[in-house]
Amino acid sequence: MRPLAICEVAAEVAPFAKTGGLGDAVAGLSRMLGAAGQDVRLFLPLYPAIWRQERELVPVEFLRDVPVWLGRREVRFSAFTTKLPASEVDVYLLHCPSLFHQDAIYASGWDEHYRFGFLSVAALTCCQRMGWAPEILHVHDWHAALTPLFARTLFGWDRLFAATRSVLTLHNLGHHGLFGGHTIGELGLDGHLALLPPEDVAADRLSFLRNGILHADLLTTVSETYAREIQTPDGGFGLDDLLRARAASLVGIVNGVDYGDWDPRHDPHLPHPYDAADLAGKRRMKRALLERVGMEAGEETPVVGMVSRLVEQKGIDLCFEALPELLARRDFRLVVLGSGEERYEALFHRLQATFPGKAWFYRGYHEPLAHWIEAGADLFLMPSRYEPCGLNQLYSLRYGTPPVVRRTGGLADTVEPYSWERGTGTGFVFSDYTPAGLVWALDHALTTFAHPEAWRGLQRRGMALDFSWERQGRPYLELFRGLAA
């Protein structure tokens, strides 16, 4: 079959730029599509931190000091190219120091709309200069959500995009990219008010995400359950009406995992590799992790791990009540890695101070430690309030670290509740978003841990699951083919 021309536009692509699963998902899907023979080109901003990664970035001769007009302002950028690691996929890093001069991916400054508006316009400008007509314009989250509208407006005159079909993937409805009405003119959209969502125009505001949902030819989100949840008032963040109206064009596809990076058999971060047939390496990883965090515990004492952005979405609110009670009552160790809102960081600092030798917290972002926790912990905790897909529970399944999760979004689709009677299931699932729900699930998990045979069954079933991108990416390819046909 003829390769499809697929243009991917995103704010995060791992390993160049990542704050969470978005970067992993964009990279993993692109790698899969490239390996399947498609012509995939990835566009993201060149954040200053990328220079320090010591990659070979090659300047693109015909994309040097390119002017783009956005609203009444001209900005100039140059593009650098490199390969997405472990693939033949070309990555284009858009270098515009006047907009991207700080390390933070999300700067929340007065020009945030302009930074990401620029991303869309610069990506389309690159396609023009390459004389490359993307058949699929695949954009991710609010940061790239204006691209389909720009393709229709600012670039509408160019026949290059006449056959381009657009796909918006919703990784998280919690962030809309919502700005004041003055940004409409600043982004050159004041001549196209009729195309903007009427409720936004009336309220004198611009929502990147709402525009994307309105204008993309196809919408996808990162699990089937989340695709349903976002069409309800509870999960739709005010966009559920629009999403219901577009239900026929909305598809849920569970994310994949890059097992090249996340598999205990060959994870380069782990001194002790292991697999389902021989878990001796996992026992060594547990000892190594405990030693690293300065805690003592025997094999029979369970270690509960957590790696998370510490934000409301992740259900940390439940931990305020649930974790002190459990730590006081039961014998287990808690190892937490994450950063985010101060009140949540303070909670874990407090737990560490109150339960020395039982609870440990590392505040920050630490890639190797994330791998150590997945491998060295016995249980992985993810009590999310909502979770579009979630990658950490998929990693933990592969690492023989049964997840304790709330039944929501992708967690509901990927973790099967453990049943003692039937000898089935891969983790522990609670439904009610209450501290009692979390206590019940963790209690159940800790009690089950005391039964080694049942536990090994749980581990083996989880480790045998295949959420590879080779599998999970296939529906994307079929959708793209159907759309381009």
Cα-flanking dihedrals φ and ψ of residue 272, to 5°?
-125, 95
* DSSP code of residue 204: T
Cα torsion 202, 216, 123, 151: sign: negative
Q: Quick check: 336 binds ligand ADP (CB under 6 A)?
A: no
Q: Among residues 391, 397, 446, 463, which is the contact residue for ligand ADP, using CB under 6 A?
A: 391
CB < 8 Å & 24+ apart, contacts of 193-196: 195/149, 195/152, 195/153
Q: Among residues 9, 66, 184, 222, which is the contact residue for ligand GLC, using CB under 6 A?
A: 222
Q: Among residues 365, 468, 479, 484, which is the contact residue for ligand ADP, using CB under 6 A?
A: 365
Which of ligand ADP, ligand GLC, none has residue 339 at its interface (CB below 5 to 8 Å by kind)? ligand ADP
Burial 63-84 (b: 16+ CB within 10 A, else e): beebebebeeeebebbbbbbeb
Q: Quick check: 22 binds ligand GLC (CB under 6 A)?
A: yes
**Are 409 and 390 a contacting pair, CB within 8 Å?**
yes
Q: What is the full DSSP assignment across 74-105? A: EEEEEEEEEEPTTS--EEEEEE-TTT--SS-S
From the list 85, 81, 114, 108, the residue with the least C-alpha distance to 95 is 81
State in angstroms the smallest separation of the CB of 426 from ligand GLC: 17
Q: Among residues 24, 200, 229, 378, which is the contact residue for ligand ADP, using CB under 6 A?
A: 24
Q: Quick check: 307 binds ligand ADP (CB under 6 A)?
A: yes
Q: Quick check: 383 binds ligand GLC (CB under 6 A)?
A: no
Those residues whose C-beta lies under 8 Å from the C-beta of residue 194, and which sit 6 or more positions away, are: none
Q: Quick check: 337 binds ligand ADP (CB under 6 A)?
A: yes
Q: Give the count of residues interacting with ligand GLC (CB under 6 A).
A: 14
**Distance, CA of 211 to chain centre:** 21
Site stretch for ligand GLC (CB under 6 A), options 69-77, 81-89, 106-114, 382-390:
382-390
Q: What is the dihedral of CA 121, 123, 126, 130, to 10 degrees?
A: -130
* DSSP code of residue 418: P
Q: Quick check: 373 binds ligand ADP (CB under 6 A)?
A: no
State in angstroms the smallest separation of the CB of 230 from ligand ADP: 15
Q: Quick check: 20 binds ligand GLC (CB under 6 A)?
A: yes
Beta strand segments in 105-252, E:
136-140, 165-170, 178-180, 205-207, 218-221, 250-252
Q: Quick check: 173 binds ligand GLC (CB under 6 A)?
A: no
State in angstroms the smallest separation of the CB of 370 from ligand GLC: 14
Which of ligand ADP, ligand GLC, none has residue 231 at its interface (CB below 5 to 8 Å by kind)? none
d(CA 479, CA 485): 10
Q: What is the dihedral of CA 386, 388, 394, 395, to 10 degrees?
A: -80
Q: Which is nearer to ligand GLC, 295 or 394 (by Cβ)?
A: 394
Do strands 218-221 and 165-170 pair parallel, antiparallel, or not at all (unpaired)? parallel
Conformational region of residue 285, where left means phi above 0, alpha means psi within -120 to 50, and beta covers everything else? alpha
Q: Quick check: 21 binds ligand ADP (CB under 6 A)?
A: yes
Q: Give the count of residues interacting with ligand ADP (CB under 6 A).
A: 18
Q: Quick check: 20 binds ligand ADP (CB under 6 A)?
A: yes
Identify the residue whose tokens are 């695709």: 227
Q: Quick check: 392 binds ligand ADP (CB under 6 A)?
A: yes
Q: Which is nearer to ligand GLC, 138 or 333 (by Cβ)?
A: 138
* DSSP code of residue 424: B
Q: Which is nearer to ligand GLC, 66 or 397 (by Cβ)?
A: 397
Q: Among residues 309, 330, 350, 460, which is the contact residue for ligand ADP, using CB under 6 A?
A: 309
Residue of minimal CB distance from ligand ADP? 21
Which of ligand GLC, ligand ADP, none has residue 309 at its interface (CB below 5 to 8 Å by kind)? ligand ADP
The amino acid present at 266, given as its one-letter code, is H
Q: Among residues 235, 252, 338, 435, which is the contact residue for ligand ADP, using CB under 6 A?
A: 338
State in angstroms the smallest separation of the CB of 186 from ligand GLC: 27
State in angstroms the smallest separation of the CB of 21 from ligand GLC: 3
State in angstroms the smallest separation of the CB of 436 from ligand GLC: 24
* DSSP code of residue 20: S
Which of ligand GLC, ligand ADP, none has residue 222 at its interface (CB below 5 to 8 Å by kind)? ligand GLC
Binding site for ligand ADP (CB under 6 A): 20-22, 24, 307-309, 337-339, 365-367, 370, 389-392
Binding site for ligand GLC (CB under 6 A): 20-22, 25, 171-172, 222, 255, 387-391, 410
